[in-house]
Amino acid sequence: MSGNKPLKGIKIIDFTHVQAGPACTQLLAWFGADVIKVERPGAGDVTRSQLRDIPDADALYFTMLNSNKRSLTLDTKTPEGKEVLEKLIKKSDVMVENFGPGALDRMGFTWQRIQELNPGMILASVKGFSDGHHYEDLKVYENVAQCAGGAASTTGWWKGENAGPTISAAALGDSNTGMHLAIGILTAIIGRQQTGKGQKVAVSMQDAVLNLCRVKMRDQLRLDKVGYLEEYPQYPHEKFGDVVPRGGNAGGGGQPGWILKCKGWETDPNAYIYFTIQGHAWEPICDALGKPEWKTDPNYTTAKARQPHIMDIFATIENFIKDKTKFEAVDIFRKFDIPCAPVLSMKELLHDKSLRASGSIVEVPHKVRGSYWTVGSPIKFSDLKPEVTASPLLGEHTDEVLAELGYSKDQIGKMHSNKAV
């Protein structure tokens, strides 16, 4: 970490697992918070052993979501474990959890109890649905949230053999909810500076997905009003129903766009670009394609005039780039200020020089794995360059954290024999 550490001194009990919660606390750890991951003795976060690529080493699923943290093993269902957690709560600023509904209460740590122990405590939770929701009892994973939050209904194809609600590969339900929660935690920390009191912060995965689908709600309201959506590929040749349709690869905003094939698409699954027809860039597009006559043809001069044959326009562009690689195509269009990008594979992103130089892709040394590549901080500061350090081994910091809480060597040894830690 270079520069200052804005969250230095903030102590976080990280009672999270899988992805949504860990993504949130990892972000806060990058920015300087002391994040203590509390895990069940013996097993720890389930992602340590899920989807392993190296036998007996923490899986990438775990290492890529838990960097910069410390690990404390603690059975919080034993009296000794509960006592340790109480001490930690008294000394910490934030507790983050994403257990199934009611698990924390069943453990004996209700919001009321936590406030008694530490009135300044901020309790931050991720659940599938918000408190009081008719589905509040449900356990939820990523794709369930994408369906409940509107993403699946508006993603994918509306006709053809692949028609149907579709899940995005992006973690809209998990990491996205964690990012929302991080904003809530930082807000509550600032609020506490004013009031001296902590508070409960909660983000449901359904709400976090819906927040990202805001523009689709916009389209529903427009559809209700006018009965059609001009920028969707269904317009004007097909009928609209009463719900926002799936738009395939349409831009969905004011600028029509589509995925276009480039040289080699027959064998390379990612030989494509995304091309956007930005209204005021129409003339440069005509110049780039060598179609100056389109600049004055009334069938092409306005977005409305272009829409009925927008797919023919995309076909013309595709024909223009069929002998060019995706990188060559983008290099041509960027000179004309046209918003476009190659479709980049994970392999290309992993080896991208710019991403490595900026710290968006980083290599992290690890005691057992040797080293692993991971995604670094997407947030860049002028006075902070987060340094990503290894995820902790299970219980790596148990004795250290217990000693900080005032336990003697003998007491710590006893807890180990009792399997409380």
**Which of 121, 100, 105, 120 lies closest to 13 in space, CA to CA?**
121
**Is 275 annotated for ligand binding?**
no
**Which of 245, 214, 211 lies closest to 228 in space, CA to CA?**
245
**Which of 34, 9, 22, 44 lies closest to 396 in space, CA to CA?**
44
**Is 74 annotated for ligand binding?**
yes
Peptide bond into 236 cis (omega under 30): yes
In terms of CB distance, is 75 or 231 closer to ligand COA? 75
**Is 106 annotated for ligand binding?**
yes
List 174, 207, 312, 383, catalytic entry: 174
* Sheet containing strand 34-39, strands side by side: 70-73, 34-39, 11-15, 94-97, 122-127, 200-204
- Which residues are at the interface with ligand COA (CB under 6 A)? 18-21, 38-40, 74-77, 98-100, 103, 106-107, 126-128, 139-141, 174
In terms of CB distance, is 186 or 421 closer to ligand COA? 421
**Is 291 annotated for ligand binding?**
no
CB of 58 to ligand COA, least distance (A): 17
205-212 and 175-195 are packed helices; what angle lies between their axes, rounded to 10 degrees?
100
Active site residue 174: yes
CB of 135 to ligand COA, least distance (A): 11
CB of 173 to ligand COA, least distance (A): 7
SS3 163: strand
In terms of CB distance, is 127 or 306 closer to ligand COA? 127
CB of 19 to ligand COA, least distance (A): 4
Angle at 103 between CA 97 and CA 107, to 5 degrees: 100
CB of 84 to ligand COA, least distance (A): 10
Angle at 145 between CA 71 and CA 150, to 5 degrees: 145
**Is 100 annotated for ligand binding?**
yes
Q: Tokens at residue 179, please?
A: 């990012």
CB of 175 to ligand COA, least distance (A): 9
In terms of CB distance, is 78 or 301 closer to ligand COA? 78
**Is 206 annotated for ligand binding?**
no
**Is 255 annotated for ligand binding?**
yes
Q: In 10 A of CB 193, how many CB atoms?
A: 7
Q: Rounded CA gap, 67 and 260, in Å?
A: 38
In terms of CB distance, is 7 or 74 closer to ligand COA? 74
CA torsion 183-188-194-195 (nearest 10°) is 170
The contacts of residue 175 (CB under 8 Å, 6+ apart) are 19, 20, 23
CB of 21 to ligand COA, least distance (A): 6
Q: Looking at this protein, which amino acid is placed at residue 408?
A: S
In terms of CB distance, is 86 or 219 closer to ligand COA? 86
Q: Which residues of 229-241 are buried (b: 16+ CB within 10 A; e: fewer)?
A: bebbbbbeeeeee
- When CB distances to ligand COA are compared, the closest residue is 100
Cross-strand partners of 34? 11
In terms of CB distance, is 34 or 80 closer to ligand COA? 80
**Element spanning 96, H or E:** strand 94-97
**Is 123 annotated for ligand binding?**
no
**Catalytic amino acids?**
174
- Which parts are annotated binding residues? 17-20, 40, 74-77, 98-100, 106, 139-142, 253-255
Task: Cite the annotated binding site for substrate by residue number.
Answer: 253-255
- Which residue ranges make up the annotated binding site for CoA? 17-20, 40, 74-77, 98-100, 106, 139-142
